[in-house]
A and B are shown apart, each in its own frame.
Chain A
Amino acid sequence: MVFVEVSPGIFINFGKNEAPNKANGWAISNTGFIIGDESVLVIDAGPSYQYASEMIEYIKKVTNSQINYLVITHHHPDHSFGISKFLEIDTKVIISNSELKNYLKYGNKLLLQMKKKVGDDWFENTSINEFNNNKQKFPFSIDLGSRKIDINLYTDGHSGGDLTVTDKNSHIVFGGDLVFNERAPTIPHANILNWLRYLDEISNFNWSGLVPGHGPIIKKKNKLDFTKKWIQHIHYIARDAVKKGLSPAEVLELGVPEFLSSTKLAKETWNRDVPVLMKHYENDN
């Protein structure tokens, strides 16, 4: 675990930009923390109890401020399964209602599948815990001590309720998985039309740096174009295929469209997400 101080008091551990495997233990997404005079706010808990424990140890080395807040941007396991460790040290967990529901509903099934795929060892002590998010209303602000943080909710975009974190001092925004960089965006719970709208909104903010859920930090707005292009196109392909009554097998046989194929994890993501989206659109019909 290597945290980089991208701006005074803001640290990020960039996840491995690869598929989950036995070597990375599902630590494939970015996590970070912001230090104020009194409190530390953590953005995403990582994939496991073990990951969260290491993270907490690291934070205690660099500051005496208390780890009072944890923001879970959405329920996907690479971002949320470290929650159990933070609950132990009485950190207040901030998560949208829909994503708390999904975490509790799908958590155990996902944990089982993950253990099977990358090995039980990575998930020792990791559990899915009930906790109270106090039905938090969004947006709202937190003062970490000489440091104000805004937390915004984006409903039914990439997931049921994605949270973003904005540091008012540095104008750095943590976009969660609404934002991907140099990697194919994943869409298992997405409403693509809303997501596109949210990406436009986010790109128009006056940020100095945008931290994606996956990939390196974004400094220029045009870096958001690829995510937009990808989700627009996969949406179009899946909807058209459902309209024609195609089998997902026939769509996947054509491969990833060339203009999208050069990004990391393009093929894996395309092959996984096209059938999921098609099913989604079939049920809508």
Chain B
Amino acid sequence: MYFIRGFLCLISFMLFFINLANAGPFSDFKASAILSEELASSPTQKRDTPNSESLKQAINLLDPEKSEIWPELSRLFLGELAKVNFESEIRVIMQDHVEEPHEVPLIVKLPDHLHNFKEFILLIENNPIQQVIKLIPYRAIESIGMNVRLEDDSPVRAAVKDKDGLWHIGSKMVFVSSPGGCSSPSCDVTTEICDPGEIGKLILKNYDREAGAGRLKIKIIHPMDTGLVSSPAGEIIPEYFINSIFLDDIDGPIAVMETYAALSTDPVILIDLAEKGQSIRAKAKDSHGLEFFSFKNSSIM
């Protein structure tokens, strides 16, 4: 039993590292560091409250045909020849107007016909770190939630690949009243008080939903440094983030995730399963190679 599970884990982690090796173009944040300096010196004019004008703008900005960024984004993250279908049935639930851009909660709810998807990617078009997460499931998943950083106003795209390789995209336009979720410090810049928690502490919870369905929630205490924030001395704080999460239970693997610093400090991930998991375990790894576990005896995972 352990042997089989260990074998599956090995395969999933091999897959994961192959993915990492492909991550070249979007794990290079140097260009974005320059962007953050510009943002710091000349803050953009912001809207304060939603009005009909900003709503009209939102609809325009969501239109992938009018987005200058989408074609490139699609090519980079979904593949050169990706077939893409925009669908309102994929609901990206988050606020229209956000005040605190360092931590924006969202949840993506999938329609029935996509519960057995093959791959899930969340993209934030106008972020210096555009990809938030890539998730590969091993069983049916109904919704996925998380907390993210938003640098500025942006369309948020949830991309779901079905068994035939077709990408289904759900979109949501979000406005940010004070930009800088990726490039400004989320702690006191002069005293450096960030209230750091116990790095790597992993909290896993399993909730009941209706009719035997379950929701699991993982929270990991971690700074998720973007590499775009300067210290008070003017030096860039290097990127440091959780880059993989693996979940299983007594029936085997549940999902493997590749994660990026566009997730907020102390990231939270929610996953709705059609059937509640039993004895769920989580394992996470960060960009320094440290591993964190939701359980004590880590040798068997």
Contact = CB atoms under 8 A, between A and B. Distances in A.
User: Interface size class for chain B?
Assistant: 20 to 34
A247 B105 contact: yes
B83 interface: no
Interface in B190-228: 190-191, 193, 205, 207, 215, 217, 219
Interface stretch (B59-67, B94-102, B121-129): B94-102
Interface string A245-285: 10111101100000000000000100110010000001000
Interface string B104-125: 0111000000000000000000
Contacts, number: 61
Given A109-B189, A247-B145, A249-B107, A117 B217 contact: no
A154 to B, nearest CB: 25
Given A19-B48, A108-B191, A272-B99, A247 B178 contact: no
Contacts of A108: 188-191
A247 B106 contact: yes
Contacts of B25: none
Chain A interface mostly helix, strand, loop or mixed?
helix
B93 interface: yes
Given A105-B188, A106-B188, A247-B105, A21 B95 contact: no
B75 interface: no
A105 to B, nearest CB: 6
A112 interface: yes
B43 interface: yes
B217 A245 contact: yes
B46 interface: yes
Contact of B107 (A19, A109, A250, A282): A250
B187 interface: yes
Given A117-B178, A275-B105, A250 B207 contact: no
Nearest to B207: A245
A105 B191 contact: yes
B105 A116 contact: no
A146 interface: no
A252 B95 contact: yes
Interface in A227-241: none
Contacts of B106: 247, 249
Contacts of B185: 109
Contacts of A247: 93, 105-107, 145, 270
B105 A109 contact: no
B215 A245 contact: yes
A191 B180 CA distance: 30
Given A108-B189, A116-B178, A117-B177, A248 B270 contact: no
A32 B69 CA distance: 52
Nearest to A117: B178
Interface string B164-186: 00000000000001101000110
A245 B187 CA distance: 27
Contacts of A253: 93
Interface in A84-119: 105-106, 108-109, 112-113, 116-117
B169 to A, nearest CB: 19
A101 to B, nearest CB: 11
Nearest to B217: A245
A113 B178 contact: yes
A244 interface: yes
B95 A249 contact: yes
A226 B97 CA distance: 26
Contacts of B94: 249
Contacts of A245: 205, 207, 215, 217, 270
13 contacts: A19-B49, A105-B193, A106-B188, A109-B189, A117-B46, A244-B207, A245-B270, A247-B93, A247-B270, A249-B106, A249-B145, A250-B145, A252-B95
